[in-house]
Amino acid sequence: MKFGNPEYFFLWLALPLLIGFFIWAYQRKKSALQRFASLDLVHKLTPSAGLGRQVTKWTVFCLFFIFLVLALVRPRFGLKMEMVERKGIDIMVALDISRSMLAEDITPNRVDRAKHEIAKLIDKLKGDRIGLVIFAGESYVQCPLTLDYGAAKMFLDAVSPDWVQVQGTQLGDAIKQSIDAFKSKTNKHKVLIIITDGEDHQGSALDAAKAATEQGAVIYTIGLGSESGVPIPIKKSQGNIVYKKDNNGNLVLTKLNTQILEQIAHEGKGKFYHAGTDLDLSRILSEIAKLEKQDFGKQSINTYEEQYQLFLLIALLLLIVEFLLPERSNRKMEWKGRFE
């Protein structure tokens, strides 16, 4: 069994409070009656209004609440097979994990913020294949193109700047690696998103961008970081933090290099986004949505059927029963003289 909204199970924590409210209300009512007459006299005058009928109504109402929560969590069981037609675009994200991406001008740092935003982008995809390339002085495919968004986020979460030993920012190599990772041989339906601060670029990035365009890829570049420059933190094995310095002992500052990223986006027939210290990938997603989608064909998937209707019906019936159930029994009383 699966649940569509399992977070609503927390509503069951209110059940003890509901029971406590019923007990409090009963005690308050009991105390009010005692101000007018003794409880023995009240019971003799109204024998049909006993505690048992009240408990029955409370129990029915609590059952209503339980089944209402079960309807809200949307239980799913009973597998059925469906043929789904998939259309979308192949999206490859190239993420810079060089040392400069550890700069903390974005909270908590550039690379962790980029990972967070990429994960949010993945959550918004519908039918598009997503892949991930990580790069610094070298690059490689971290996650091949996939429709399994959960697996893509697992690969993304594992990314660490410590993985790449060769430092620098080989944008040209990252572009080539990303284009090679596209499965489609058609000259369209391909999007490459490069997230980097653009520093220390080496190699022929513009030639690689031009070659990517010839293979049908559209390149979007995102410039991440401050243009004024911030120091690069380095975590030592003892756990303390120091900041990178050059051979002369001067503090090294990392700055956003927008010029190369603008040129790459221009060659790639895409757009350059100056994210600075405010990264947001939703703008790119709206651009991607305008592109022509390719047909990935039909795929059979097993889905669980929604069964909340049954629990909702039971909840409504219990509510009706509680409403119609009288607080007093219909037992007829016969006068037998004075109360002793």
Q: Give the chain's domain count.
A: 2
Average of pLDDT values for 6-16? 89
CB 161 within 8 Å of CB 244 = no
Residues 275 and 316 in one domain: no
Residues 65-120: pLDDT tens digits? 999 999 999 888 776 666 656 678 899 999 999 888 888 888 889 999 999 999 99
Residues 67 and 196 in one domain: no
Using a pLDDT cut of 90, give the percent of the chain over it: 32
Output the CA angle 277-280-285, nearest 5 degrees.
Answer: 155
Residues 160-169: pLDDT tens digits? 887 766 676 7
30 pLDDT more than 60: yes
Record the pTM: 0.63
225 pLDDT more than 60: yes
Q: Residue 160: give the domain boundaries.
A: 90-292
Residues 214 and 171 in one domain: yes
Residues 226 and 249 in one domain: yes
**Burial of residue 275 (number of CB atoms within 10 Å: 0-12, 13-18, 19+):** buried
Predicted pLDDT of residue 1: 74
338 pLDDT more than 60: no
Residue pointed to by tokens 């002369």: 248
Average of pLDDT values for 300-308? 71
Strand partners, 303: 80
Chain centre distance of CA 105 = 25
Residue 265 lies in a domain: yes
Least confident of 40-44, 204-208, 247-251: 40-44
CB 65 within 8 Å of CB 316 = no
Using a pLDDT cut of 70, give the percent of the chain over it: 79
CB 173 within 8 Å of CB 123 = no
Residues 196 and 65 in one domain: no
**Burial of residue 10 (number of CB atoms within 10 Å: 0-12, 13-18, 19+):** exposed
CB 245 within 8 Å of CB 252 = yes
152 pLDDT more than 80: yes
Output the CA angle 191-194-198, nearest 5 degrees.
Answer: 155
Sign of CA pseudo-dihedral 177, 214, 264, 87: negative
d(C-alpha 68, C-alpha 318), whole Å: 10
- Spell out the residues 6+ positions from residue 136 whose beta carbon is closer than 8 angstroms to its own: 96, 97, 98, 99, 161, 164, 166, 167, 168, 169, 170
Higher-pLDDT residue of 247, 7: 7
Within 10 Å of residue 176's Cβ, how many Cβ atoms? 21
Q: Name the band, by pLDDT with cuts 50, 70 and 90, for residue 35.
A: low
CATH classification of the domain holding 262: 3.40.50.410
Predicted pLDDT of residue 176: 92
- Spell out the residues 6+ positions from residue 148 whose beta carbon is closer than 8 angstroms to its own: none
CB 219 within 8 Å of CB 212 = yes
Predicted pLDDT of residue 268: 92
Predicted pLDDT of residue 170: 82
Strand partners, 196: 223
Predicted pLDDT of residue 76: 81
Residues 62 and 134 in one domain: no
The strand pair at 129-135 and 139-146 is best described as antiparallel
Within 10 Å of residue 62's Cβ, how many Cβ atoms? 16
Residues 68 and 216 in one domain: no
48 pLDDT more than 70: no
Predicted pLDDT of residue 115: 93
What value does the mean pLDDT of the chain take?
A: 81
